[in-house]
Amino acid sequence: MNTPVALITGASRGLGRALAAGLAREGFALITDARNAAALVEAAAPLRAAGGDVTAISGDITDPAHRAALLAAAQTAGRLDLLVNNAGTLGASPLPALADYPPADLRTAFEANVIAPIALIQLMLPLLRASGGGVLNITSDAAREAYAGWGGYGAAKAALEQASNVLAAEEIALRVWWADPGDLRTDMHQQAFPGQDISDRPRPESVVPAFVRLISQRLPSGRYRAAELMPAARG
């Protein structure tokens, strides 16, 4: 019961998988989620082989039944110290101008990037309050900057940021962070630039020390950029 527990969504690849490995090294027991069951099992295998405690539950975070299954896993664990809302979707790809953005794809982007994370937070709040834990919502510079083609994703992440801001004001006993990892070499980033070479982007593992610092030092609630946290993490 003294082992901290973290729930990480979208943990089968990219930043979510890298964060799961980093938090396992920090001594967290993990509850992980992703839509692709085989990829989720594959991601969990090396963590378990290294002695990590990983409960992997596949499903779609927009599905209320799947969110309920994640809550049941946290209740079985007996505590929850950290919720990482990493799962999301780019939306329409290739990225369209807002004038051409299909409303159905826009609804999908908001459902995955805003509604589902808030709904999961609502479910997990009693456990998080009991532990004095934290919520980490993964955001993007597209939430603040006007990039052509990024209107759907950026608007959804901007909504998530404001929801995070309000949650931090309401849940003062918790830590609520919304953090921009920067451009990374991930499948989602590749979807944003189909056919382009993105090998110059850093790997997701490169920013894990920044997030570990944020979590382990329990920095104040607020918005962070991984790049701003990295120098201190190295030092």
pLDDT at 212: 95
Per the CB < 8 A criterion, the answer to whether 68 and 33 are in contact is: no
pLDDT at 235: 40
DSSP of 66-124 = HHHHHHHHHHHHT---EEEE------SSSPPPGGG--HHHHHHHHIIIIIHHHHHHHHH
pLDDT at 1: 64
| Six token digits for residue 26 | 């920090």
Q: What residues contact residue 16 under an 8 Å CB cut-off, 6+ apart?
A: 8, 9, 10, 32, 34, 84, 86, 87
Catalytic residue, from 101, 147, 153, 224: name it: 153
- Asked if 153 is an active-site residue, the reply is yes
Q: Is the peptide bond before 46 cis (omega within 30 degrees of 0)?
A: no
Amino acid residing at 23: L
Please give the model's pTM, rounded to 2 decimal places: 0.91
pLDDT along the chain (235 residues), means of 10: 93 93 97 96 96 97 98 98 94 88 94 97 98 96 88 94 98 97 65 63 84 96 92 45
pLDDT at 131: 97
Cα 197 off chain centre by:
25
pLDDT at 83: 98
